[in-house]
Structure 1
Amino acid sequence: MATRRSPKLDKKQAVDTALTLLNEVGLDGLSLRAIAKALDVQAPALYWHFKNKQELLDEMATEMLRRMPSSAAAAPDAPWQERLLDANRGLRAALLGYRDGAKVFSGTRFTGTEHAAGMEAVLGALVAAGFSLPQAVRASTTAYFFTLGFVTEEQGVQPFPGERREGFDIEERAARMAGFPLAAAAGAGLFEEYDEGFEEGLGLLVAGIEARYLTA
């Protein structure tokens, strides 16, 4: 009687399963063993594709990038400010689609070149506007880091749309910090109103970039 072989495990299937599982258990609960269980395979089968969890995260971040809607791209003749705003709005929206999305994205190495087209467009718009290439790199990465940091903090309070971690009740916080009236009143701006806070912060950053590099 012939031995029945299990179907070959596809890397993309593993990554898709990992992203689905991420939304269920978060980054802390995600492991190669948990993914193997969800795929109904033995954990060693995953090591053909990923030597460790970091390699898995690199592939997950790359797949997240591939899934970002191209409609987020600004028009080809859009000014550099609009391109920078649009790129980071699109990044935030994409990251919020995954539990711990910003943590997965941070510090990873893209395994493909899908990110190069968007980078080229943003850098090209900045250089065309009068930035040197080093200035364009600094401007675009600063906006990128702001977005990653913002969403990391946002998801620390609201891990997933419709969820909110315990310990972030604004009224309870204000009462506890009553001796520090300004800090107490800052609660809503810190732990609510994330859409408004992101737009305001990104706008401040873009205005600062323009003031630093183009009007100094």
Structure 2
Amino acid sequence: MSTEKRTPLDRERVADTALRLLNEVGLDGLTLRAIAKELDVKAPALYWHFRDKQALLDEMATQMYRRMVAGTVLDPADTWRERLLAMSHGLRTALLGYRDGAKVFSGSRFTGTDHAPALEANLRLLTEAGFTLVQAVDAGRTVNAYTIGFVIEEQGVRPLPGEPREGFDIEERARRMADFPLAAEAGRLLFDDYDRQFEEGLALVVAGIGARYGIG
């Protein structure tokens, strides 16, 4: 009989393993059975920690957030625009670090209160800049939703950076749509240079928030 001691199975270890496996198999292939196999345990052992896959996704999203903010210090001198931009850039970078990262994050519920300090600081900065609390929440939610939605679409074309999905050949698309020159050329803007696309869309969103609430 082996006397080797196994690392105790806990929520953090299961979530970490799931995030690692996510990059290999994607969200559709991420089953509790596959995670259990990776951990060398029986699948029922995972139900002691997670009642279902959504509960696991909640913990995975929480771990993603913890990694995203680890070592990050908010600049108290930020303007409200700078803070929204920084939040969005940080979130996109974090989500792109995982195959289907945006889908995992979308709709998940944080299992702890790790996000509360940053949320409090961001809401305070916005309200001190002239937003009401309702407006500050709406502004933050809108930027957050834009970022997650953008990355879901981005990862639909490129599951991981530098890994395009089959069927998104821009030149081939342009040939098929040769009778529609504007639509054909638009493909280069829709399915390439996602950094430029993201920055322009984010600038539009933040400018719209300022215009909507009359805050410079």
TM-score, length-scaled by structure 2? 0.94
Q: CA deviation at 1:69?
A: 3.9
Rounded to whole Å, the distance in 2 between the matches of 1:141 and 1:107 is 12
Residues 95, 101 of structure 1: 8 Å contact kept: yes
1:188 aligns with 2:188: yes
Gaps of 5+ in 1: none
AA aligned opposite 1:150: F
Q: 1:215 to 1:87 in 2, by over 3 A?
A: closer
Rounded to whole Å, the distance in 1 between the matches of 2:60 and 2:184 is 39
- Equivalent in the alignment of 1:78: 78
Map residues 80-119 of structure 1 onto 2, 5 A cutoff.
80-119=80-119
AA aligned opposite 2:9: L
- Equivalent in the alignment of 1:140: 140
Q: CA deviation at 1:7?
A: 6.2
44-53 or 114-123, which moves further after superposition?
A: 114-123
- Equivalent in the alignment of 2:25: 25
Q: CA deviation at 1:6?
A: 6.9
AA aligned opposite 1:22: L
- Equivalent in the alignment of 1:11: 11
Alignment coverage as a number of residue pairs: 214
What do residues 130-160 of structure 1 show as CA deviations (whole Å, max 9, x unaligned)? 1111011111100000000000000001101
**3-state SS of paired residue (2:81):** helix
Q: 1:186 to 1:161 in 2, by over 3 A?
A: same
Q: 1:151 to 1:45 in 2, by over 3 A?
A: same
Residues 177, 183 of structure 2: 8 Å contact kept: yes
Gaps of 5+ in 2: none
Residues 102, 151 of structure 1: 8 Å contact kept: yes
Q: 1:194 to 1:6 in 2, by over 3 A?
A: closer
Rounded to whole Å, the distance in 1 between the matches of 2:21 and 2:42 is 17
Q: CA deviation at 1:107?
A: 0.6
1:64 aligns with 2:64: yes
Q: Identity over the aligned pairs, expressed in percent?
A: 65
**3-state SS of paired residue (1:76):** coil
Rounded to whole Å, the distance in 2 between the matches of 1:115 and 1:96 is 19
Q: Which 4+ runs in 1 deviate beyond 6 A?
A: 4-7
**3-state SS of paired residue (2:115):** helix
Residues 74, 82 of structure 1: 8 Å contact kept: no
Residues 84, 140 of structure 1: 8 Å contact kept: yes
